[in-house]
Each structure stands twice: as C-alpha cells, then as structure tokens.
Homo-oligomer: A and B are copies of this chain.
Amino acid sequence: MQTLDFFFEFASTYSYLAAMRVGDLARTAGVKVRWRPFLLGPIFQTQGWNDSPFNLYPQKGRYMWRDLERLAAELGLPFERPVPFPQSSLLAARVALVGLAENWGEAFCRAAFTAEFGEGRQIADQTVIADLLRGLGVVPQSVLERTQSVEIKAKLRAETESARVLGVFGAPTFVTADGELFWGNDRLEQALAWARK
C-alpha cells in the first residue's frame, strides 16, 4: 500500500480541517497515512516570525478566520475560535506521539482538534487533555507522565527536524514517498492522488 506523510501542527487551523478529512479520504484512496505531529514555531523562527503569520499580518488573519468558518460549515464541522490564538501545542503534540505508538493516536488528534477549533477549548491545559483522554478510554496519568520523558521530547524534536529538512514551511503539509510536498488542507486530495501513482 502506498504511504503519505501527514505533517500537522495542533495550533494550525487548516490542520484541523485536514485532520478531520484525511481518514475517510485515505481509506477511499487506498493510501496509508502516517500522522506526524510537529511544531511550526521553530520553523517560523527561521523565517523571522515569532508569532503566527495570521497575527503578524492582520488582514490575512481576518480572512483566514472567515475562510475557516465557511469551510467548516461546508464540511459540517463545528467551529469556535480559540482565544488565545495560536494555542501552545507542545503538550498535545507529545500526547499524540504517545498515542500514535499505541492505538489511540489518530482518535486523540481528532478529539484535540475538535476541542480546540470546534469548541474553543484550551489544549495547553492538562485538565482538558486529561478529559479528552478519558473520553477515549485512556487513563491520563501515565500518558501525561510519558510526555515528560526524554524519549517523547526527543521524538517531537526529531519530527520537527524531519519536517524542516523535507522543506516543510507550513501546516498541514503532505509528503509522498517520492518526496513531493503538498501544502495545505486544499492539497489533500491531490496529495492522495499523487501517492497512488
């Protein structure tokens, strides 16, 4: 089966849409998707940005929120703008890495994105994350402890470095086995079609 790497950032609005769409589309396409959470912050810093470009460029930001609202409505997805934006995504990314090595990672990612952008909840808050984990039937305490392990911290740094080396500059980005990059929720279908070739 062909594979497609799905690089996403929990603070990224368009990663929310892609995360909610990718499962069904990939199944239909017969493509295996590898979910790869990473942090955009270090990559934005190399471009001279110390905040989301949607905050640095207010017109672009205003447009993005309206665009997201329209797209979520079309897709039948809930939408509520989280304050502050962007949320700190470090905890959620580390929890996702724990879960992706087990069997609840993708479900956790969808739950975290829905909490953040569908309900406006605080994904940097341990009690929110614990609540989401319990909803998946996962006992929070040991997972939250593992997010502080050397192994998980190093794994997230390595994923972020992989993204950077592959040329990822935004999220979501899809990368095919032959190294083609497709940036943005808008390119998900094209990325899957390419992966199948």
Which of chain B's residues have a CB closer than 8 A to the CB of A186? Answer: 186
> What secondary structure prevails in chain A residues at the interface with B?
helix
Say yes or no: is A169 at the interface (Cβ < 8 Å to chain B): yes
Other A-B contacts than A57-B169, A60-B170, A63-B181, 18 sampled, CB-CB below 8 A, are A47-B57, A47-B59, A59-B167, A59-B169, A60-B169, A62-B167, A63-B167, A63-B169, A63-B183, A66-B180, A66-B181, A67-B182, A67-B183, A67-B187, A70-B180, A70-B190, A74-B190, A186-B186
11 residue pairs of the A-B complex, CB under 8 angstroms, read A47-B59, A57-B169, A59-B167, A59-B169, A62-B167, A63-B167, A63-B181, A63-B183, A67-B182, A67-B187, A186-B186
